[in-house]
Chains A and B, each alone.
Chain A
């Protein structure tokens, strides 16, 4: 039997009363890679992650961790580390005691608590009550709790919220080295920029539904694909491109917008001996591609 994917959802659906938060979602993520989970606010990311973590019951479908529902895992804390969105702690309990509670419940040796605090650079504040922590410190405490069991799989829900640029850099480097060591990361965000520098793959959802699951490079290619070309012989160029299966539309000033990279357009023009006055890549950002995927109908 092939090894089950680290995380998989099949026909996953969640309804809260009349709201459908997640609708027939299916995808599986690859081991040893960083997969970004993207979607605008309210798309259903948190709900999906919480179903994967056994915190929310699906209305239909399955949410599986290594092929089984979270609840059936033998040793959840050593299998998957989770950073919940806006994680809350008991305000009067110290960060270190919070970790001790988790460690006690999971049968993790106490030394590991201090080692983990060291790892997230929280040793100095760990004995203070969480009430006195900044948002960034709480985030680090969440990360520490996720790492306590030394899992090979991390699930993070908007972990960058509340972190300063230094904290974000720290997190990014940490996740890279975690994945470099063979770990799998599934990280959600509503900001593509955060994920673009980190992820190998992206799963994009919008309004509770899957809109794309592809390598980051493919998402990048969607934007890199466009070309603007100007030619005195625009009509013939368009026919020439159409013959090669490439679509081109007329823009202003006799420009053509072509859905292919500049190299292809240049080659097609040269093959037909068509003069070009201008040939440039359309400069759309990743953000625009993301918006196009997720906001097209608004």
Chain B
């Protein structure tokens, strides 16, 4: 518990959360403003379309992944990992604390992103005199899905970052994988099983089209990915020589 608080304190005492938060806000403002201004009133009036506007908040799952990478690999980049292991030499505990702390921070970030996206969408829709249907069950499920996905992505980022231990490389590899690697899985029709798509299926929370796994199967697979990354990352943590 003390280690989890310490990890949360670490996250709060750099500007990282602030910047990542601003990044999410900026994206949301851009995408939501474009969506509301470009579509016709009749289209915007559909609950489905309004829900899609808010789904931009799902970007917080990606941001959460980056947060996880920075929380783990970043400590090696900054050389602060030595201090961390001096206080808590049983490294498995550090790894577990990081997983929990980043999952929590990612979930909070995602929730804030959803609230902001929801409020902004409502405001802009009202401005165009569109009736607002954002309280629908499917919108609420979307928020739950995004928060859950961000928590999983954050923890996944910790495991993966501990495994690579090189912050910049880990972030670049993750982005390239999501943009290029995962679509290539489509050649083998394996694309719904890539970690990125699996997390997307958690986000969609039962609203997915045919190209994604169902929520249940997606969630199970996401947790399996998380467990594998967590175990491998912890083992890598244990083995590392901090020189």
Contacts and interface: CB of A to CB of B under 8 A. Distances in A.
Interface of A: 16, 46-47, 50, 53-57, 70-71, 73, 76-77, 82, 84, 87-94, 97-98, 100-102, 104-107, 145
A145 B13 CA distance: 17
The range of chain B's interface size is 20 to 34
**Which has the most chain B C-beta neighbours within 10 Å: A16, A87, A98, A101?**
A101
Given A55-B242, A56-B243, A107-B2, A76 B87 contact: yes
**Which has the most chain A C-beta neighbours within 10 Å: B5, B15, B87?**
B87
B80 A90 contact: yes
A55 B85 contact: yes
Given A88-B80, A89-B78, 9 more contacts: A47-B243, A55-B243, A82-B86, A88-B82, A91-B78, A102-B83, A104-B5, A104-B6, A105-B87
A69 B88 CA distance: 13
A101 B86 contact: no
Interface in B1-22: 2-3, 5-6, 9-10, 13-16
B230 to A, nearest CB: 20
Contact of B242 (A56, A93, A100, A107): A56
Contact of B15 (A57, A82, A92, A98): A92
A190 to B, nearest CB: 17
7 contacts: A50-B243, A55-B82, A55-B85, A82-B86, A92-B15, A101-B83, A105-B88
Contacts of A82: 86
Contacts of B2: 104-107
B86 A57 contact: no
Contacts of A89: 78-80, 83
Interface in B119-141: none
Contact of B79 (A71, A88, A104, A145): A88
A76 B3 CA distance: 14
Contacts of A84: 82-83, 86
B89 A70 contact: yes
A32 B242 CA distance: 29
A106 B88 CA distance: 8
Contacts of A105: 2-3, 5-6, 84, 87-88
A71 B14 contact: no
B14 A93 contact: yes
**Which has the most chain A C-beta neighbours within 10 Å: B3, B83, B241?**
B83
A133 to B, nearest CB: 14
A196 B41 CA distance: 84
Contact of B6 (A53, A101, A145): A101
Given A92-B15, A100-B13, A145 B83 contact: yes
B30 interface: no
Interface string B66-103: 00000000000011101111111110000000000000
B3 A57 contact: no
B242 to A, nearest CB: 4
Interface in B40-67: none
B78 A102 contact: no
Contacts of A16: 241, 243
Contacts of B86: 53-55, 76-77, 82, 84
B89 A73 contact: yes
A90 B90 contact: no
Contacts of B241: 16, 50, 55-57
Contacts of B14: 90, 92-93
Nearest to A84: B82
Nearest to B84: A105
A101 B90 CA distance: 17
Contacts of A102: 6, 83, 87
A71 B89 CA distance: 5
A53 B243 CA distance: 11
A104 B78 contact: no
**Which has the most chain B C-beta neighbours within 10 Å: A16, A54, A55?**
A55
A104 B11 CA distance: 13
A40 to B, nearest CB: 18
B13 A101 contact: yes
A101 B8 CA distance: 9
Contacts of B82: 55, 84, 87-88
A53 B241 CA distance: 11
Interface in B200-243: 239, 241-243
